[in-house]
């Protein structure tokens, strides 16, 4: 009874903002772990909406994503959802790109925040539209994927600077080239673990990590969802989920964009 009472007392002390972050982390990782995209996009959209500063958003998201993706990467590796050759080509460029993106945001984020915020809102709007287009298209015929290293580096740099973008850019490109979604999603998630480590360390050195309530909530929700999502790869309808997420992100981003542009 004592343990039960302690759990009840603890639940009373969990405020709504932490609970919202846990739900956000769970929802984001369910999408990310099963479809190879969505953690940064969903988390960044929510954190922008509650008014967290831009550099803190990316540092918070990547800190949470590092631990959540660690659980996801382990689950995908254990289930053998990985293309080792593709992983080898993406790993180092992705880490380098994430560090460069984190450095750029750390330098420019505060001084140019009034200009960067509508830019990021517009960027997430673009990614939402991209998700809708992805939902409408089918997997293409298998074609050679050229310059995979550059794709990984650019995707990781954009992700670190904007708090999202790795999955929608890299996963969708690889699947559009005809790669098996199961192995693309697994490989992208494993690579994400290493690139988020690079950006998280860079953010910690340059600006530190704040807004720990958001970080903790995202971590808890993400870790709970990771093993479930890894098992759902290829077993759930991708199009309905992409459509739902894309529509939600477009609505949210359009609202933020309208309220961040000075008139």
Q: What is the average pLDDT value for the chain, to the nearest integer?
A: 76
Average pLDDT over residues 244-259: 71
Q: How far is the C-alpha of 76 from the C-alpha of 116, rounded, in Å?
A: 35
**Burial profile 238-247: b = 16 or more Cβ within 10 angstroms, e = fewer:** beebbbebbe
Is the pLDDT reported for residue 141 higher than 60? no
What pLDDT does 3 receive? Answer: 41
Residue 192 CB contacts under 8 Å (≥ 6 apart), including other chains: 65, 69, 72, 73, 94, 166, 167
| Segments in 79-180 forming alpha helices (H) | 84-108, 113-136, 148-162, 166, 172-176
**Single pTM value for the model:** 0.69
pLDDT at 4: 43
Query: Rounded to the nearest 10 degrees, what angle do helices 39-49 and 16-35 cross at?
Result: 160
For the chain, the domains span 16-260
Q: What's the whole-number mean pLDDT along residues 49-76?
A: 77
What is the distance between the terminal CA atoms of the chain, rounded to a whole angstrom?
Answer: 59
The top-scoring range by mean pLDDT among 54-68, 91-105, 121-135 is: 91-105
């Amino acid at each position: 009874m004592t343990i039960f009472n302690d759990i009840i007392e603890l639940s009373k002390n969990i405020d709504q903002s932490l609970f919202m972050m846990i739900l956000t982390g769970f929802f984001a990782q369910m999408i990310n772990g099963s479809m190879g995209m969505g953690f940064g996009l969903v988390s960044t959209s929510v954190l922008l909406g509650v008014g967290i500063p831009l550099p803190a958003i990316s540092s918070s998201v990547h800190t949470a994503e590092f631990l959540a993706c660690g659980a996801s990467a382990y689950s995908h590796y254990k289930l053998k959802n990985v293309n080792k050759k593709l992983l080898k080509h993406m790993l180092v460029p992705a880490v380098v790109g994430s560090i460069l993106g984190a450095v750029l945001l750390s330098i420019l984020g505060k001084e140019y925040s009034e200009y960067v915020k509508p830019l990021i809102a517009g960027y997430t709007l673009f990614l939402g539209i991209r998700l809708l287009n992805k939902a409408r298209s089918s997997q293409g015929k298998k074609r050679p994927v050229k310059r995979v290293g550059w794709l990984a580096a650019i995707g990781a740099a954009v992700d670190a600077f904007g708090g999202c973008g790795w999955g929608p850019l890299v996963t969708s490109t690889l699947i559009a080239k005809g790669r098996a979604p199961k192995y693309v999603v697994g490989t992208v998630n494993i690579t994400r673990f290493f690139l988020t480590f690079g950006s998280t360390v860079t953010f910690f050195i340059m600006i530190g990590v704040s807004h720990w309530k958001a970080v903790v909530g995202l971590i808890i929700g993400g870790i709970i969802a990771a093993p479930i999502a890894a098992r759902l790869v290829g077993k759930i309808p991708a199009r309905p989920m992409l459509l739902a997420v894309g529509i939600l992100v477009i609505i949210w981003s359009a609202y933020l964009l309208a309220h961040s542009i000075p008139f």
